[in-house]
Chain A
Amino acid sequence: MLVAVAGFGLFAWQARKIRANILVGRDRDMSGNVSERLSKTLLVAFGQQKMFKRLTPAFLHLIVYVGFIVINVEVIEIMIDGLFGTHRVLSFLGPLYSLLVGANEILGALVIVAVVAFWWRRNVGVVRRFTGPELRMWPKLDANIILYVEVILMVALYTMNSADLKLHQLEGVELPGAYPISSLLTGLLPANVAVLHGLERLGWWAHIVGILLFLNYLPSSKHFHIIMAFPNVYYSRLVPQGQFSNVDSITHEVKAMMDPSYQVPPPATNPDGSVAAPTPFGAKDVDDLAWTTLLNSYSCTECGRCTAVCPANITGKLLSPRKIIMDTRDRVEEKYNAPLIFQPNLYGTEAKHAETEVLSKENHTLLRGYVTPEELWACTTCNACVEACPVNINPLESIIEMRRFLVLEESAAPNSLNVMFSNIENNGAPWAFSPSDRFNWADELFVAEKA
């Protein structure tokens, strides 16, 4: 009881701090379109639609996902048993209980197989996206800790079940439920009632305490995606991927320039009635990003599908969309709440940056302190990263917001782009052609007539 309260209480405390972190982002109205959002959540988050672009990891992930959900039904039973001193309280379900426990046993074994496959793919190094400068140190360790914990939880489950089964066999009583895997393991256990009882309790405690610890580990880990993926998909953009956000404050300025009678809406006010400081154009730091972007950063499981399809990254440029998302989470936790019991995500910004990347020491903000202009200017805005993300994270939005800051607040675009800007301003075209030549293409144009 105490353990459960402590476990859930601590998690609620952590979750509140993360919520506060996300809300430091700029407002963006994501209300409405409830049915479209729900069906998207159902398909992409619950249904894992986008995972199936890559079949092998999709199946492995599906096993762990289904295993997680089904085995958690048994966790509910473990909880109830613990709180009320019952033993296998759900066994009144009869054949349904056998089905549940039997399914758990088989899924547990499949989970172990999947986890071993995951470990192999990640550590023996057959998958390029599990490498890269941002995936060293803590992120690499984190990924492996998750895999180890999953195995420990499964072993605890089997210890509990097989010891319980053997106890019942020794007593000549039938244990409700079906145990296709544990029944194979009973032979390994000693025929000593006290030891068996101890093992059963050990498995039980290891499972329940393990799960509560794991729950509180989540906010420090990429594994937080098992919760955040759902709100993240729900609040993802519904407009075409090619549609970039409009900057309304600029619209007012441009309209006022073109039409002197245009009424610019009054500036935003603070709660006390004073005029609020104008927000900068674009994003320099995490609080200049939309709250949905910060939600994105907490939903990222660092799988690297975005980086694996990024044309800039594939061809050896510094840009890695995954790193920008990871940087965002690190920076928001550094600047605001580090909600975590421990702060593994703050492992020193240099740690996960390539040697060639030059970070600014003076400007310790998301832009320049974590993400360099070189990365931002390498983006082709091709949307491959957005398309690839299984939980609808949009790295492109952050890239554009930081480009806006560089151009509009710092006039720090690469020189060739400044030339392009002035061509548009002066000639109405991004190249240095005279506008009077714009219609020359139509000269001497002939078409064959049908006979």
Chain B
Amino acid sequence: MAEQTATRQITVPLMADLAAKGEEPEILFWVGCAGAFDDRYKRVTRAFVRILEHVGVKYAVLGMEETCTGDPAKRAGNEFLFQMQAMQNITTFEGYGVKKIVTACPHCFNTIKNEYPALGGNYEVIHHSTFLQQLINEGRVGMAGGGEFKGQRITFHDSCYLGRSNNIYEAPRDVLAALDADLVEMKRSKANGLCCGAGGAQMWKEPEPGKKDINVERTEEALAALDGNAAALASLNGVESGNAGATPAPRNGQQSSIIAVSCPFCMTMMSDGVKNKERENNVQVFDIAELIATAEGLG
């Protein structure tokens, strides 16, 4: 693709290096454990850094100085471990005089934004969906490549820790709207969205005995929305009539379509769900940052 575009290697700036030079970045990009270690989500981290480089925001990361925010420990009831982690991170933030933090993980976002203040850490914390929305609104990301996703059917899966937890519903949708794609909503969306099944430390344990896995229920709903399959939707246990939103127009289930997410755990759960339903051949799961980076032609 685009043979004439040159590529440039990125040296991701570290807070420690900037501080040594007496410089301060505009934002700290908090990568998060999934963003740093999970092979799939590392691609999201890299896509987001490409966007940061592309628009020329002065940013830095903590690199090896980053450590878990404590979110999974807190949700699992281990308040002691949570606070140990939080204090350690707050000490790091204070050491660098951090003021503004951007992260691609809704769990890190919620924890630092809402739960660190009680422990003495007060920062402006922004989720990457809001950050991307701002870049688009300011015209700094303009879909130069364009057309990549034109007409492609995309449905957005709300992350609980972005949506219900922090009332951010429109930012990721605004970002997707910039793609000029065929956006469809699931029956349970926004405040009524169904969890992917990974929150509350479920990511690290097997589910309790039941009839079905939550991510399968959610993926079935996403596929029904993408296919416009009203019958499949009606057979889902939790979708009650009277919920807002009509079923999208039916289409051939062979056309390729996308489930968009904005959370590393949703990414894992929805990807596993798509595999479970054997639809990997035509349904892909992407983070909104990856879609923007692709549409911008950032490689």
Contact flag A447-B217 (CB < 8 Å), given A431-B37, A438-B37, A442-B49: no
Cα–Cα, bound, A377→B209 (Å): 11
Assembled-state Cα–Cα distance A253/B64 (Å): 27
Q: Which A228-281 residues have a C-beta within 8 angstroms of B?
A: 239-244, 246-247, 250-251, 253-255, 258, 281
Inter-subunit contact B194/A384 (CB<8 Å): yes
Find out whether the CB atom of A445 lies under 8 angstroms from the CB atom of B10.
yes
Tell me if A429 and B76 are in contact (CB < 8 A).
no
Q: What's the nearest-Cβ distance from chain B to residue A191, in Å?
A: 49
Task: From the candidates B53, B165, B167, B199, name the one contacting A447 in the complex (CB within 8 A).
Answer: B53
> Which among A400, A416, A450 is the interface contact of B75 at CB below 8 angstroms?
A400
Distance, CA A428 to CA B91, complexed state (A): 15
Q: Among the listed stretches B111-119, B132-140, B283-291, which one makes contact with chain A, having 4 or more residues with CB under 8 Å of it? A: B111-119
Given A420-B201, A448-B7, A449-B5, residue A240 in contact with residue B79 (CB < 8 A): no
B210-243: which have CB < 8 Å to A?
210-214, 216-218, 237-238, 240, 242
Nearest A residue to B50 via CB reads: A447
A430-B33, A441-B36 known; A404-B77 Cβ under 8 A: yes
Whether a CB of chain A sits under 8 angstroms from the CB of B255 is: no
Point out the residues of chain B lying under 8 angstroms from A416, CB to CB: 204-206
Question: What per-residue 1/0 map shows which CB atoms of B156-197 lie under 8 Å from chain A?
Answer: 000011001111000000000000000000000001111101
A325 to chain B, nearest CB (A): 18
Q: What is the interface residue range for chain B against chain A?
A: 35 or more
* Cβ A441 vs Cβ B198 within 8 A: no
Find out whether the CB atom of B78 lies under 8 angstroms from the CB atom of A382.
no
User: Does B248 reach chain A (CB closer than 8 Å)?
Assistant: no
> Which residues does chain A contribute within 8 Å of B144, judged by CB atoms?
450
Q: Is the CB of B211 within 8 A of A408?
A: no
Say whether A442 contacts B238, CB under 8 Å: no
Partner of B49, one of A55, A241, A425, A445: A445
A382 cross-chain contacts in B, Cβ below 8 A? 160, 164, 195, 199-200
Question: Which of A10-18, A38-46, A131-139, A309-317 lines the interface with chain B?
Answer: A309-317
Judging by beta carbons under 8 Å apart, are B164 and A241 in contact?
A: yes
Q: Judge if B143 is at the interface, Cβ distance under 8 Å.
A: no
B273 at the A/B interface (Cβ < 8 Å)? no
B21 at the interface (CB under 8 A from A): no
User: Is A442 within 8 A of B75, CB to CB?
Assistant: no
B212 touching A315 by the CB < 8 A rule?
Answer: yes
Could you tell me the distance between the alpha carbons of A67 and B5 in the complex, rounded to whole angstroms?
71
CA distance A433 to B31 in the complex (A): 15
Q: Which among B38, B85, B119, B216 is the interface contact of A246 at CB below 8 angstroms?
A: B119
Given contacts A315-B214, A387-B164, 7 further A-B contacts (CB under 8 A): A55-B242, A381-B160, A382-B199, A383-B160, A437-B37, A447-B49, A450-B54
Q: Which 4 pairs, one residue from A and one from B, show the smallest C-beta to C-beta distance?
A: A242-B165, A316-B211, A403-B77, A381-B200
**8 CB-based A-B contacts, threshold 8 Å:** A243-B115, A246-B119, A314-B214, A387-B192, A424-B73, A428-B33, A428-B66, A439-B36
